[in-house]
Amino acid sequence: MNNHDNAHRHEHRLRLLRQLGRYLWEKRRDLILWLLWTGVQALVFVLYRITLEPLIYASMLGTAVGGYFFVTGFVRWRKRQMELELLQKLLDEKVLPLPKPHDLSEKNYQTLVTQLAEARQRDRREYEEKQSAMVDFYTLWVHQIKTPIAAMRLLLQSDKETPSSQLLGELTRIEGYSEMVLSYMRLQSDETDYVFRKISVDPLIRKTLRRFARLFIGGKLSVSFEGTGMEVVTDEKWLLIVLEQVISNAVKYTPPGGKVSILSENGMLVIADTGIGIRKEDQPRVFQRGYTGFNGRGERHSSGLGLYLCREIMDRLGGKITLDSEPGKGCRVMLAFPERVEGYE
């Protein structure tokens, strides 16, 4: 115990000496000025052959007064340094116990420290929320992509001859999940840029329909699309991702013999299907990350990620995605686009 106490006292003395050295360094100009002034006085006394006793007395008196102010100044300086060290340790706390400022300059510094601490807290919360969302997304994604992989393995291990359309369907699902996670990564990046320009929606719809043509044929689904004539100001690349997600869902949840319709209605792009539908109580939550509802979609391996991703993209594009559905009668997904986009004339 004695050795520990001695080591602690030794460390305390070293710390005190280091602080004293820093204080002397900060006050070096004042000390140099005091020494110069004393030296000038001594030189004047010598040149005029004045006895040095008054100078010595004045110097001793000045040294005593200066020493008092030096010591009290060091005590105050050391106290402020200890408070600052404590503040540095408490920067991650929500409330900073700032001491009472001694002057206007110190008050301004405290205001700056408070603002920096609050900004750091906001950045940290945003980072933690983003990390939590990313972990949740990848957890769901990994769980979902295992399903088509397992299905393909079973099809390949089967003794019966597997139709290529079934393998193609599972492969398309894997591609869709892969593109989904890449889109999510780009969406979360601070460097993601959006190129807004006036585009025709119909070519993007036709491109998406061609991509899923085999799935429409394999699922014995019909398509109703005669062109919408819609022209909107948006980012073509990101809108294509939304269309692929929505039309992919329509194909996935529409039974054989069903129909997928794409049309323009009241200035909105509507993708409607005759699929299994969504319960009314589930509809407000289908755009939440990971929400799959309780309407039978879980039996068809709903990921709870596609519509969430669509909502995130549409929000960034300044648009809106909504849906209306009734179990057993299908689903209508509506895409609304902004009338004006900031920065685009």
Return the domain boundaries, the chain. 2-89, 198-340
Per-residue exposure over 126-139, b if at least 16 CB sit within 10 Å of its own CB, e if not = eeeeeeeeeeebee
**pLDDT confidence band for 85 (50 / 70 / 90):** confident
User: Residue 336: what pLDDT?
Assistant: 95
Of residues 243 and 306, which shows the higher confidence score?
243
**pLDDT confidence band for 160 (50 / 70 / 90):** low
User: Residue 81: what pLDDT?
Assistant: 78
Which is it for strands 222-224 and 259-265: parallel, antiparallel or unpaired?
parallel
User: Residue 229: what pLDDT?
Assistant: 93
Of residues 54 and 127, which shows the higher confidence score?
127
Of residues 339 and 239, which shows the higher confidence score?
239
Highest-confidence segment of 33-37, 149-153, 227-231: 227-231
* Contact in structure between 134 and 188 (CB atoms under 8 Å): yes
Q: Compute the mean pLDDT over every residue in the chain, rounded to the nearest whole number.
A: 80
User: Mean pLDDT throughout 261-271?
Assistant: 95
pLDDT above 70 (res 231)? yes
User: Mean pLDDT throughout 200-222?
Assistant: 91
| Percent of the chain's residues with pLDDT above 90 | 25
**pLDDT confidence band for 42 (50 / 70 / 90):** confident
User: Mean pLDDT throughout 260-280?
Assistant: 93
**pLDDT confidence band for 12 (50 / 70 / 90):** confident
Q: Which of 89, 269, 308, 32 is nearest to 188 (CA)?
A: 308
* Contact in structure between 314 and 320 (CB atoms under 8 Å): yes
User: Residue 295: what pLDDT?
Assistant: 47
Class of domain 198-340: alpha beta
Q: Which residue has the tokens 């005759």?
A: 274
